[in-house]
Structure 1
Amino acid sequence: MKNNSFRCFFLFYEYSTFTIPKLSRNIVSNDPQTIEHILKTEFDNYGKSHTLHDIAYDMFGDGIFVVNGNLIYTSITEKSKAVLNILKNHADSGKSIDLQDLFYRFTMDTFGDFDYAQDAIFRRFVNPLWRFTEKFSETGRQLRKACKYIDDYIYNMINNHRSELESKKKKVNNLLTLFINAVDDDGKKLNDKELRDVILNLILAGRDTTAQALSWMMYSIMTNQSVEELLLQEINTILSVEMPIPSYDDSKLFKYTTATFYETLRLYPIVPYCFKDNVLPNNTPIFAGEYVEYNLFIMGRDEKIWGEDAKQFNPKRFLESEDGLRPNKFKFASFHAGPRACLGQQLATLEVIVLVAMMFKEFKFELVPGQKSPPEFRDAFSFPMKDPLMTKVSYRTKL
C-alpha cells in the first residue's frame, strides 16, 4: 500500500505542472559595502527571481514587491486626530489598548483576509512542495478564499472610483486617480489587473510597514525613560496647548523625534532581510538560481558597524555631531537605496513624526506589566510583533 501511494505521487508529479524547486546556495552578507553594491552601484545585476514571483504571485500579482521595475499632510493630521480620540476614550475609561492594532487602523482598517494571505504566502518559502500541498489542504482553500476577497475589495475600489471620475460628481485628486489616468508612451492606460497589482502592493507597503514601525518605536520609547524625556523637550518646544497640531513646516523641526524613528528602524528593521542574485564585490560568484541575502536585524546589532553600544537604543547617533558630521543613517538600508529606494520613505517618516508628536504632547504611555520585553516578532514579509502591545494611556494635563 505504501509503495502504491509513493508511485501515485510521482505519477502526479510527472504529468502535472507541479515542480520542485532545486536546492541552491544562499550567500549571506552583513557588509555595508556589499549592501550598497546590491542596492545601488550594481543594481541592474540583482533582479528579483522567478521563484519569488511564483511564490508571491497569488497575492501580490505583478506589483512592486515581486517584479523588477501638501494635500497628503492634511490627511495625516486628520487621521492623527482620529487616533487621539481613541486614546482619549481609553484614558477616560482606564482600559488598556493594543497600540499595534491601533496603528494598523491608523494606516488602514485591518481585515483578517489580508493578514491570513500574507502569512500563507510567507510559509511557501519554507515549503518547497507548496504547489502540491495547497491543492488539497485547508491552508490552500483558505488562501484562495482570502485572495478572492482581496481581489473583490480592490476591484470594487477601482470601479467605484472610476465611476466617480466619469460621472464628474466630484473632483477626486489622489494616488488612485493618477494611476487610473496614467498613460504610457503609446497612450495606453493600465488595465484593471495592472491597477489591482499596483494598488494592493501600495496599500500593503504603506499599511504594514508604517504601523509596525510605530509599534516598535512606541515600545522603544516606553522602555527608555531618557529618550522619552528628550522627546518631550523637543515636542513641547515646537507645540503648545493652543497649537497642538504641527504644521507642515513644523514637521521639519522634529530632529530628535526623527532620529528616534531612524534608531527604531536600525534595531527593528521593518523589512528585516532581502535576497537578490548575481555576483558580490568580494568576487564571490553567484550562479543562476542562487541568492545573496542580507539581514538588517543582525546588521543593526553589529558592533563592527555601529560600535560597542550597537545593542543600545540611542537616537543621538543620528543627530549631527559636534564636528558637524552626520553618520550614514542608511548603513542599515531600512528604506533600501539606489533605484529601488522606498517610494514611501518621506510619507512614512512624516506620518510617524506627526502622530508621535501629537500623541506624546497630550498623553503618557506605559506598558502593561507581564508582557515579554522585548516583544517577540512573528514570521512574515515584514516585522510585526507576535503579540498585542498592551499599553495604559493617561493624560499629561487633564483639560
Structure 2
Amino acid sequence: MSENLTYSLTGVATITSAAILGLLTLKYNDRAIFTERRDNIHSASGLPLFGIMFEQIAKKERFLDFFIEKMNETDNMTMYASSLGLPPKIMTIDPRNVEHVLKDNFSNYVKSKRSTDLLNDLFGHGIFAANGKQWYYQRKTASVIFNTNNFRNFFTVFVKELNVMSERIIDKAIERGEVIDFQSMIYKFTLETFVYLGFGKQLNALYNNVTVPFATSFDACQANCFQRLVSPIGRLREALSPILHPGEMTAKEHIQVIDDFAYNLIQERKVQLAQGHKYKDLLSQFMAARNPEGKELGDTELRDAVLNFIIAGRDTTAQTLTWTIYYLIMHPRVEAKLVSEIEKYISDEIEQDPPALYEMIKKMVYSHAVFYEVLRLEPVVPNSSKEALEDDVLPDGTHVYKGDQINWSSYAMGRSKKIWGNDAESFYPERWIQDGHLRRESPSKWPAFHGGPRICLGQNLATLEGLVALIILLKRYKFSLVSNQEVVYTMSLTHPIKNGLKVFVEKR
C-alpha cells in the first residue's frame, strides 16, 4: 500500500514538474527564465529558458566576433540579450547611444557591482573599477602627470629604451638568424618605460631579455577576469583549474605575484623618501594625495592605483604596436608609404635628439593615420559595459531599465559598414586624412580611448610612445611574418594576439 502510494506521489510530482517546465518554456520561449520581454527592440536569438548562455560560453574565445554575429541578426544597431546566470543586457553599436552613456547622461551609468566584484582581486578600487568619488580623486591625482610638458621628458626614456631593445634583442636576433616574438618584446619595452616613468623602478627586462613574472601573471589574471565576466561558471572553472590543469599556477598564485610586485614598489619608495629622495612621478603623486575621506592612501589603495595604471601604460601601446606591425606586413603599400614619410622627416640626428624627435613626430600625418586605423580595427579595449542606475531612454528610442547592462563593442563598431561605410573592414589609413591634415573622429564613433569624463588620460602619451617606437623601428628594420602561424586575438580585458607575433627581422 505504502509502496503504491509512493509510486503515485512520485508520478504526480514528475507530471507536475513537467507541466511547470512546459509552462515556463512557453512563457520564456525567446529568452532566459525570469527575464522580461522587451517590446520595440530586437531580442537576440537564443534558447528557451537559457537565452544566449550556451552560445556565449561556446564562443567566449571569439566573443568579439560573436557580438558582431548577434548584431547582424537585425538591421538595427541595438538589441536586447538575456543569458541565464548573467544580468540582461542591451547590446549596441549606435554611436548616439555610446555618446549618451559615456557623456550626455554620464552620471546614470556606472561600473556594475557585479563587474567590480569579479575584478576586485586584480584591480581593487583602482581607477578602472571605481565609481564616483573614488574614481574622481584618482583621475585628478593622475592628471598632473599626463601633461604636454612631461611628454618631452618621457621621450628621452622612450628613445633610450628603444636603443637598448635594438642592441640587446633585435640586433642579436639578426646576427643569429633567430625569430623574434614581437608582442613579447614590445610588452617588455612598454612595461619597462611605464614602470620607470610612473613608479621610478628599472626592471632591466630589455637588458637581459628575461621573462618578467609580474607580466606573465598580469596577463593570466586579465584573461581570468574576462572569463568571469562572460561566463556564469567562470569562478567554477577557476576552482577546478588545479584538477584540470595540474602543475599550472592558480589564479590566487598569480595574484600573489602581482601583489608582491606592487607592494615592493611601494615599500622601496617609502624607504627612498625616508632617505630624503624627491620624486615627481605617478607613484609620488598618489602618495601625496588624499582619498575621499581626506586621509593619506594606505598600501592597499596605492597598490590598486599602481596596477590600474600599469595596465593602461603597458597594454595599450604594446598591443597596438603589435597589431600595427602585423597590418603593415600584410599591406606593403601602406608600409612603403609610411617608411617614405619616416625617411622624409626623421634623419639620423633627429632620431637621437628626443626633443626634436618629439616635435617632428607631431607633424607626421600619415604615421598618425596608420596608428589610428589600427586602433579602429583592433581597439585595445574592444568591449565595454556600464550599468544603469535609473530608467532611461537611449537616443535611438531604446528603453533602459534600472539594473540593465549597456554593452558596446569598439571592435564591432570599427567593422560596421553603417558607421564607416562599405570599406569598413579594409585597412585604409587614408580615411583619417582630409586636405593633407589629420581628421579627428568623435569618441562616440571611434571609442578607442573611451569618451566623456572617463576618456583615457594617457591617450596622447600612448599615441606618442607608440609612434616613436614605430617610427624608429621601421627606420632601422624591416619585419616579415614567420609562416604557418595563426594571427588571431585572444580574449582578455584588453586585445592581445593569442600566441604572439613571430617575425623575422632584417636591417634596412
TM above 0.5: yes
1:103-182 alignment runs, 5 A limit: 103-108=186-191, 110-111=212-213, 112-130=216-234, 134=238, 137-138=241-242, 142-168=250-276, 170-182=277-289
Alignment partner, residue 498 of structure 2: 386
Q: Deviations over 1:105-161 (max 9, x none)?
A: 111154222122222222212342455665565289811111122111111110101
Shift of 1:83: 2.1
Shift of 1:251: 2.2
Alignment partner of 1:36 out of 78, 99, 118: 99
Identical aligned residues as a percent: 38
The answer to whether residue 337 in structure 2 is matched with residue 337 in structure 1 is no
Alignment partner of 1:371 out of 485, 488, 491: 485
Unaligned runs of 5+ in 1: 1-20
The answer to whether residue 371 in structure 2 is matched with residue 267 in structure 1 is no
Distance 1:179 1:90 in 2: 40
Shift of 1:23: 4.0
Are the structure 2 counterparts of residues 289 and 184 from structure 1 closer, same or farther at C-alpha, using a change threshold of 3 Å? closer
The answer to whether residue 156 in structure 2 is matched with residue 74 in structure 1 is yes
Say whether the 8 Å CA contact 2:365–2:438 is kept in structure 1: no
For the aligned residues, what is the CA RMSD?
A: 2.3
Q: Deviations over 1:132-191 (max 9, x none)?
A: 6655652898111111221111111101011101201x4333111111122358763211
Distance 1:30 1:151 in 2: 37
The one-letter amino acid of 2:163's match is K
Alignment partner, residue 53 of structure 1: 116
Higher relative contact order by CA 8 Å / sep ≥ 6: 1 or 2? 1
Q: In terms of mean alpha carbon deviation, does 346-355 or 134-143 score higher? A: 134-143
SS in 1 for 2:504: strand
SS in 1 for 2:110: coil
Alignment partner, residue 286 of structure 1: 400
Shift of 1:395: 0.8
Are the structure 2 counterparts of residues 137 and 301 from structure 1 closer, same or farther at C-alpha, using a change threshold of 3 Å? closer
Distance 1:185 1:366 in 2: 51
Are the structure 2 counterparts of residues 23 and 241 from structure 1 closer, same or farther at C-alpha, using a change threshold of 3 Å? closer
The answer to whether residue 362 in structure 2 is matched with residue 255 in structure 1 is no
Q: TM (normalized to structure 2)?
A: 0.69
Shift of 1:300: 0.7
The one-letter amino acid of 1:125's match is L
SS in 1 for 2:351: coil
Alignment partner of 2:175 out of 92, 110, 113: 92
Shift of 1:371: 2.3
Matched residue pairs, number?
373
Alignment partner, residue 17 of structure 1: none
Distance 2:333 2:227 in 1: 40
Q: TM (normalized to structure 1)?
A: 0.87
Q: Deviations over 1:53-76 (max 9, x none)?
A: 111101110112212123222222
Are the structure 2 counterparts of residues 87 and 134 from structure 1 closer, same or farther at C-alpha, using a change threshold of 3 Å? closer
Runs of 4+ in 1 over 4 A off after TM superposition: 129-137, 184-187
Distance 1:84 1:254 in 2: 23
Alignment partner, residue 27 of structure 1: 90
Are the structure 2 counterparts of residues 258 and 387 from structure 1 closer, same or farther at C-alpha, using a change threshold of 3 Å? same
The one-letter amino acid of 2:493's match is F
Alignment partner, residue 14 of structure 1: none
SS in 2 for 1:253: coil
